[in-house]
Amino acid sequence: MVNESWDFGPASIDCGNTTWEDNKLVTIDDGYNVTAVVGPLECPT
């Protein structure tokens, strides 16, 4: 997910019934290239 860009809205997920792994919150440049990883994007339980 791109940091500070919620074009598709927040995810509404039941974390206990969903596999949520290897997701990262990133920043991108004007060409949509990842420029930095802000941190992990975890599904809180």
pLDDT at 36: 93
CA distances from 36 to 4, 15, 17, 26 (A): 13, 26, 30, 6
Task: Look up residue 28 and give its amino acid.
Answer: I
pLDDT at 35: 93
Task: Write phi, then psi, for 36 (nearest 5 degrees).
Answer: -165, 150
Give me the pLDDT at residue 17, please: 82
Instruction: Point out the residues of the chain with pLDDT beneath 50.
Output: none
Specify which residues 36 forms β-bridges with: 27
Q: Which residue has the tokens 């420029």?
A: 35
Closest CA to 41 of 20, 23, 18, 14: 23
